[in-house]
Structure 1
Amino acid sequence: MERRYESRESPRGDGDLRAMPTGDLVKDVLANAQILLREEIRLAKAEVREEAKKAGRAGAAFGAGGVLVHTALLAFAAFLIAVGWGLMPLWLSALIVCAIFAAAGGIALFYGKKRVETLEPKRPVQSLKEDRKWARDTMQSVKSHRHANA
């Protein structure tokens, strides 16, 4: 759907841009900028919705996996405490196992936080920057053309 005009012809096909009044040129630029902005906003919304769906599916998988792994870790913790009980007092065995699991959990949370921070639609942001530059360049071109003909 991308349209580029390399010639000096009006996008409407009604003649040479140099022959068009400045007011009409400005109206065309503003109308095209509005259309472009609406389309970019529509695209950004669609991409954000898609990213949210992906995040939701990933969250559900994390939740289900987390419940199962949690159950396994509880059983494993009981096993480690029982093994340690033969070598040291029960309370010390439980404390050591708890510290090991707390450290592992902290590392997992840190890693998960870093992964969530990368959920960002990059294409619409870059596209909007390019559109802003295009609009600025076009307006400068119209102004310089108008001053040259004055």
Structure 2
Amino acid sequence: MTASHSPDPRDERSVGELFGEVSKDLSTLIRQEVALAKAEVQESAKRAGKGAGMLGGAAWASNFLLLFLSLALWWAIGAMIGDGDDVPALGWSALIVAGIWAVVAAVLALLGRKSLESVEGIPQTADTVKRIPDALKGQQS
């Protein structure tokens, strides 16, 4: 005896029905990718904003620290190269301190530019979007 085999109603779907189902699935996939991209961007922006705020506060406080350290260094260099109340010695020591800060600013600018160039964006979304053509072909990667 053979077991009775009832036809699967999905086997008898028309091309139009199959195309409609594929279109619906593709639309869902695209909506999910857009939602993923939004979530990634929001999370990245939230972290970046919080970090930027803290770094801004630290920079503001550091500005005062550097101001007073620079004044102390300026005065100390002036006292070392001058003889008492020598105004030209204080002028030269001010230029030395300014030169030090110019070097620090240049190094920080280069490091900051390098750091900004390494920002990746939305890597997970980019990776999953690359897989859509293979998924449409029935291949999983």
TM-score, length-scaled by structure 2: 0.78
8 Å contact kept, 1:47–1:121: yes
Instruction: Identify which of 10, 19, 31 aligns with 1:15.
Output: 10
How large is the Cα RMSD of the aligned pairs? Answer: 1.8
**Alignment match, 2:52:** 59
What is the aligned-residue identity percentage?
28
Name the CA distance, whole Å, in 2 between partners of 1:30 and 1:78: 70
Is 2:114 aligned against 1:114? yes
Instruction: Identify which of 11, 31, 43 aligns with 2:24.
Output: 31
Pick the structure with greater CA Rg.
2
In the comparison of the two structures, how many residue pairs are matched?
123
Q: Which has the higher contact order (CA 8 A, sep 6+)?
A: 1
**Greater CA drift, 81-90 or 48-57:** 81-90
SS in 2 for 1:120: coil
Name the CA distance, whole Å, in 2 between partners of 1:119 and 1:34: 26
TM-score, length-scaled by structure 1: 0.74
Structure 1: segments with no counterpart, 5+ residues: 1-12, 139-150
Is 2:71 aligned against 1:78? yes
Name the CA distance, whole Å, in 2 between partners of 1:23 and 1:63: 59
**Alignment match, 1:47:** 40
Name the CA distance, whole Å, in 2 between partners of 1:81 and 1:26: 78
8 Å contact kept, 1:51–1:119: no
Name the CA distance, whole Å, in 2 between partners of 1:46 and 1:14: 39
8 Å contact kept, 1:81–1:90: yes
**Alignment match, 1:91:** 91
Which amino acid in 1 is paired with 2:52?
Answer: G
SS in 2 for 1:114: helix
**Alignment match, 2:127:** 126
Name the CA distance, whole Å, in 2 between partners of 1:106 and 1:97: 14
Shift of 1:106: 1.9
